[in-house]
Chains A and B, each alone.
Chain A
Amino acid sequence: MTVIVTEDDFDLAEIYAKLRTPKSPPSPGAVTVFVGLVREMNNNRPITSMTLEHYPGMTETRLEAIRDQAMQRWPLTGATIVHRVGKLGPNDQIVAVGAASAHRQASFDAANFMMDFLKTEAPFWKSEDTGDGAEWVSARDSDDTAKRRW
């Protein structure tokens, strides 16, 4: 499990177990896993559902590249990106990013880095439905700012 794009929900315990106990040594001393969820409100409007579109082929290519960059930049024992597509409801899991390392700082930083790059480079698009029609979510300048700190 390194990079997965799927319509299915994911099991956090499974992601953690693979990072905690890799198939080959060394074992890590720290694992960071981040999970992103569908918000129940956005811009003060309740969301009934969210649909995630993506660019099959490019999505996996970009996510692999982001993971590879993290593996090269930090001394990681493992790294995983799982992202869902299709129709999701409030509080559903959207994305999980995990990084394992000998010490905590590298695992925190690598997970943060992968999320910041995923947000600005991975070709996913969210459409939010509030009950009276679906709207494409606009990209945030703050995501570009977050990426630049790396």
Chain B
Amino acid sequence: MKIRYFAWLREHIGASSETLSFDPSWVSVADLVAELKTKSDGHAKALSDMTLVRVAVNYDYVDLDHTLSDGDEVAFFPPVTGG
């Protein structure tokens, strides 16, 4: 599955995207977040307070309890500031 990061999350993590093999033990987005936080200090910092982070799966906003599927594109980013 493809993971994408934007704005200050991208800066903390040092990459705009990465590809992970889907692990069937990940049921929800929260499980994926727990896994990602172990990858580096940057990941841990970026994902330390999920109240500051919005999550989209396949371009739709989702909550942390959203069920993941293999092949999903999951994006993590701050609240949006366009317009």
- Which residues of A pack against B, CB within 8 Å? 36, 52-55, 57-58, 61-62, 83, 94-95, 115, 118-127, 136-139
Contact = CB atoms under 8 A, between A and B. Distances in A.
B58 to A, nearest CB: 9
Contacts of A122: 80, 82-83
Interface centre among B78, B79, B81 (most CB of A within 10 A): B81
B68 to A, nearest CB: 17
Contact of B82 (A54, A61, A138): A54
Contacts of A62: 59
Given A58-B75, A137-B81, A125 B6 contact: yes
B42 to A, nearest CB: 16
B22 interface: no
B5 to A, nearest CB: 10
Contact of A124 (B4, B56, B75, B80): B80
A119 B59 contact: no
B10 to A, nearest CB: 8
Nearest to B59: A58
Nearest to B58: A58
Given A58-B56, A58-B59, A61-B59, A136 B7 contact: yes
Contacts of A52: 82
A37 B6 CA distance: 23
A62 B75 CA distance: 14
11 contacts: A95-B82, A95-B83, A115-B83, A122-B83, A123-B77, A124-B81, A125-B6, A125-B78, A139-B78, A139-B79, A139-B81
A53 B59 contact: no
A53 to B, nearest CB: 6
B82 A57 contact: no
Interface in B1-34: 4, 6-8
Contacts of A118: 82-83
A119 B83 contact: yes
Interface in B35-83: 56, 59, 61, 75, 77-83
Given A55-B77, A58-B56, A61-B59, A126 B8 contact: no
